[in-house]
Amino acid sequence: MSLTIPGFTSQRVETAAGVHLHAAVAGSGPAVVLLHGFPQTHVMWRHVAADLARDHTVICPDLRGYGASDKPAEADEHTYAKRTMAADVVALVRALGHERFALAGHDRGALVAVRAGLDHPEAVTHLLVLDVLPTLDMWDVLHGADAKVAWHLYLMAQPVGVPEPMIEAVADTFFASFLDGWVADPAAIDAEHRAEYLRASREAVPSIVADYRASAGIDVVHDREDRARGRVLAMPVTVVQQDWGAALGYDAAGLWSAWAPDLDHRTTRAGHFLAEEAPGEVVATLRELLAR
């Protein structure tokens, strides 16, 4: 049985034809939606969500292809496009009775959140992004030997049938390498939740790969189209990330400001899994954003 957030109720909502998302929901008041990253599920938000639920309706979905949500076969490049996954999220929240909502995303969830902000500005009031760059910029800053830090991006960008059996053959080792290698405080992800992330990821290899494959294809196309049209994020945006810009030689705040005119950019001393390593920092940052 999948883990969920204590005190939250489970909802299962059809967001597209034949596709249902699972979400944990609690609280009342203005809606805040929290989108998880890789290789995790909605329970990565457990500390942050519990605090926010004191005065907000908090909605924590498993993304399409992850956790207890449906994992449709990759029919074409659009099945796991961030545009499609963002539309899922908007449909979910509307089905739960909210036309407008604040949105926070970590890692893959942050890419979905950014696409939701670009495609659905009428729905997204505030946007918090944790530890990613926009898809187009992410590929642009990876050069030479330094790009080895993102080796998994290149593996999962390969054609259908190549990365999937490789990953499935060593699934726990593959996914654990990120959980263990990206965390600055190993105690932040306890044994129970680590095992849950490994189980959920092991059972979702094709859809996880499809999500990443889309980010090397159709997601780049969509970002380029937006850049050419001058589309930007109209809502207040806060970005919190590790200082990869200093390590890899790029201006992270500058890259983000091109997409988000109303930007608060911050770096953190926490590792990649901020919501578990530094939940107090994330809650405080999100509450500051909601007050803008």
Does the structure show a pLDDT above 70 at 1? no
Rg of the chain over Cα atoms, rounded to whole angstroms, equals: 17
d(CA 184, CA 187): 9
The burial of 143, by beta-carbon neighbours within 10 Å (0-12 exposed, 13-18 middle, 19 or more buried), is given as: exposed
Give per-residue pLDDT as tens, 7-32.
999 999 999 999 999 999 999 999 99
- Nearest CA to 42 out of 82, 14, 2 is that of 2
Confidence of residue 265 (pLDDT cuts 50, 70, 90): very high
Omega before 39 cis (within 30°)?
yes
- pLDDT > 70 fraction of the chain, expressed in percent and rounded: 100
| Widest Cα–Cα separation across the chain | 49
Give per-residue pLDDT as tens, 133-173.
999 999 999 989 989 999 999 999 999 999 999 999 999 99
Average pLDDT over residues 174-188: 97
Asked about 107 being catalytic, the answer comes back as yes
The burial of 155, by beta-carbon neighbours within 10 Å (0-12 exposed, 13-18 middle, 19 or more buried), is given as: middle
| Residue 244: per-residue pLDDT | 86
| Residue 77: per-residue pLDDT | 97
Q: State both tokens at 32.
A: 């805040």
Q: How high does pLDDT run on average in the chain?
A: 97
**Catalytic residue from among 56, 193, 265, 272:** 272
d(CA 38, CA 203): 14
d(CA 7, CA 30): 18
Give per-residue pLDDT as tens, 188-205.
999 999 999 999 999 999
* pTM (2 d.p.): 0.98
d(CA 50, CA 14): 25
Q: State both tokens at 43.
A: 């329970």
**Catalytic residue from among 62, 107, 119, 219:** 107
Asked about 272 being catalytic, the answer comes back as yes
